[in-house]
A and B are shown apart, each in its own frame.
Chain A
Amino acid sequence: MRIAYLDGGAYYHHATFHGRGFSRYFAANIYAPELDDTDLDEFDGLYVASRQDPEHLRRNKAKIDAFLDAGKTLVVMGDNDAETWVPGARWEARPVNFWWWLTPGADSGLRVASPEHDLMKTIPLADFTWHQHGVLTPPQGAVSLVDRADGGSIFYDDRASAKGRILVTTLDPCYHNGSYFMPAATRFLQGFLPWLAKA
């Protein structure tokens, strides 16, 4: 799959794209403010790295909808106001507990929701596990891969809301990997990006 990496220009977007050999999974790097002038026809997937300026995404909603109408794949990482521009996305804030892991034996609160899903056979739950920024309610027909025990999904796979496929998460691996801060986020990408390239 030819995947374009949407780069919001932050240092961590740069570090995630250029570091650890991840650029080999991408056919192009699109600078988010230039998405308006970029033709997406040549790509099969659009990977929206975590923590973009959502204004650029909302402004290009029609272009992204058309991309999905063509049967292509949209990947939306966390903190992108997905509920304002991704078909079917519903998100709600939850207090972010950055510190749960300081208690020995603590429960992360995450549960594998679809153990039979190909991605869940590829990445262990531990590599989805740091903290999450809010929860998602998967649209009807979508499949949650990882749930929170207290309700909601943190990662779903949606083939129902558009002709194409939509993967949405509240995890922000690009930020943490690109900040050299959170080994699980790096392991997540090391599992996810090769999986995505073959999906």
Chain B
Amino acid sequence: MPSILYLRSMGHEFPAFLSFAESEAVTARYLREVSDDELARYDAILVPAHIDQRGLARREAALTRFLDKGGTLVFNGHLVYPMLGLAPFVPSQGGHKDDLIVESVNAHPVFDGVDDYDISFRRGVSGFYGRGGNPPPAGAIILHRMKTDHAPLDWFWERPQGGRILMHAGNTMWMYLGDDTSAARIAPQLLAWLKATSGKRAACDGKCAQRAQAQTLAQPQNLLAQAA
């Protein structure tokens, strides 16, 4: 089974997710407890929004090694420290309720059955899930975007050099685990997807570019087109 590391939040950890992750054999450690070599050894790493991102960016060499050997990085939050060649967070303009609606662009197993409404609103309030985007690299597949300005809120990227990044530029995606909506599907689907696809199956032996291209061609239908 793939080895999965959950880097614990500095604050506002979601106890239900911690229990769930540990019950699913995910290793939960604080960043300060994990050496560079250990980081590089895992098959998947979960990064919550409440992480010491400055400290994580200082581990860029280890994260690069982790990705190069086929690791899957699940990153939550606004990217503000340069790392992995990614561009920094751009907030969406406008803070009104309807400026912060999220819409699906492409399907992904982690978000299967998750209704756009349930990540756009909580008790009728918008903006919890995200309010901007971490700009995607070329070749990334946009999964969710802000409806008004199309900010790239969630994307999935298979790096040409190896490894994969599932990016969510907002509040930690597994915070919905206890919600009574379809958004509660995200956390279990995330772990199921990682178990099914990370580790040896994600390593690509230099064939990542071809694989990424094949995946792009095989993408499920655009949900917007489907809705239209």
Contact = CB atoms under 8 A, between A and B. Distances in A.
A15 B12 contact: no
Interface string A57-68: 000000000000
Nearest to A18: B80
Contacts of B53: 9-11, 14
A53 B32 CA distance: 10
A99 B122 CA distance: 10
A182 B123 CA distance: 16
Interface string B1-19: 0000000001110000000
B49 interface: yes
A173 interface: no
Contacts of A99: 123, 125
B10 A102 contact: no
A7 interface: yes
A79 B81 CA distance: 23
Nearest to A99: B123
A14 B81 contact: yes
Interface residues of A, number: 23
Interface string A1-30: 000000111111111000000000000000
Secondary structure class of chain B's binding surface, majority of residues: loop
Interface residues of B, number: 28
Interface string B29-70: 010100000000000000001111111100000000000000
Contacts of A102: 123-125
A195 interface: no
Contacts of B79: 11
Contacts of A10: 10, 49-53, 77
B91 interface: yes
B11 to A, nearest CB: 4
A57 to B, nearest CB: 11
Nearest to B170: A179
A11 B131 contact: no
Contacts of A87: none
A31 B50 CA distance: 15
Contacts of A32: 52
A51 B77 CA distance: 15
B145 interface: no
A183 interface: yes
Contacts of B91: 180
B125 A180 contact: no
Contacts of A33: 32, 52, 55
Contacts of B50: 10, 51
B149 to A, nearest CB: 13
Contacts of A7: 54
B11 A79 contact: yes
B118 to A, nearest CB: 17
B171 to A, nearest CB: 8
Given A11-B53, A51-B10, A79-B12, 8 more contacts: A9-B51, A10-B49, A11-B77, A11-B80, A13-B54, A15-B80, A51-B12, A52-B10
**Pairs A-B, 4 closest by C-beta atoms:** A9-B54, A9-B52, A51-B11, A11-B78
8 contacts: A7-B54, A11-B53, A11-B89, A14-B80, A15-B80, A52-B10, A52-B11, A79-B12
Interface of B: 10-12, 30, 32, 49-56, 77-81, 89, 91, 95, 123-125, 127, 131-132, 171
